[in-house]
Amino acid sequence: MIPENKKPEPRKYTQGKERNHFKYFSKYGEMLEPTEVEIKRTKEPSKWDMLYEGMTPIEKGSWNAQQRKKGMDGKTAEPINQPKLEKPKKKKPTTEPVKINFDPLPMRTASLMSNVRDSSIYKLLENPKVMGVELGHDGIMEAINLLQSSGMFKKGGKIK
């Protein structure tokens, strides 16, 4: 029983610096009515909006880049909806490489030689023009080496 001359104590977390909506709701199970100051504050632009608008374009760009690396939108600080990466498909297990017998029997190699001589690659390599190109390249490289070793050409450096 409450004596008549005593007023009931006000609920905690409702006044002054102690005012806390979350703690009030946690303790009493009901929402705390906002004051006029709180209503006015919600209608004003947030401090972050004022800070972001005050940034130079370069500052905004570097800030947004840092936030994108973290997966966040720089202006709103919300997660960026990035497309989900597909999981890599499982590869089939590789089989062992084909074992090659490097010491085949003479009978097997003799039967393969006729097929090799009939192949287009063998005919291309036997062509005298291709052989001349190969010899020509080697000859040019040897001539350059001889000239460099004789002192006519110096190795490397700028041409003056």
pLDDT for 64: 86
Identify whether 53 is part of a domain.
yes
Q: Where are the beta strands (DSSP E) in 3-101?
A: none
Domain count, the chain: 2
Identify whether 101 is part of a domain.
no
159: left (phi over 0), alpha (psi -120 to 50) or beta: beta
3-state helix, strand, coil in the chain (%, to 5): 50, 0, 45
Domain range for 129 is 120-155
Helix H or strand E encompassing 121: helix 120-126
Global pTM exceeds 0.85: no
Identify whether 84 is part of a domain.
no
Kindly tell me if the per-residue pLDDT of 116 is higher than 70. Answer: no
Identify whether 29 is part of a domain.
yes
Identify whether 112 is part of a domain.
no
Task: State residue 72 phi and psi, 5-degree precision.
Answer: -120, 155
pLDDT in tens, 87-100: 778 877 777 777 77
7: left (phi over 0), alpha (psi -120 to 50) or beta: beta
Last residue of a domain, one of 69, 90, 112: 69
Q: Please provide the average confidence, as pLDDT, over all residues in the chain.
A: 75
pLDDT in tens, 58-87: 998 898 888 888 888 877 777 777 666 677
Identify whether 5 is part of a domain.
no
CA distance from start to end of the chain? 110
- pLDDT higher at 29 or 117: 29
Identify whether 141 is part of a domain.
yes
Last residue of a domain, one of 28, 53, 69: 69
Distance CA 49, CA 39 (A): 18
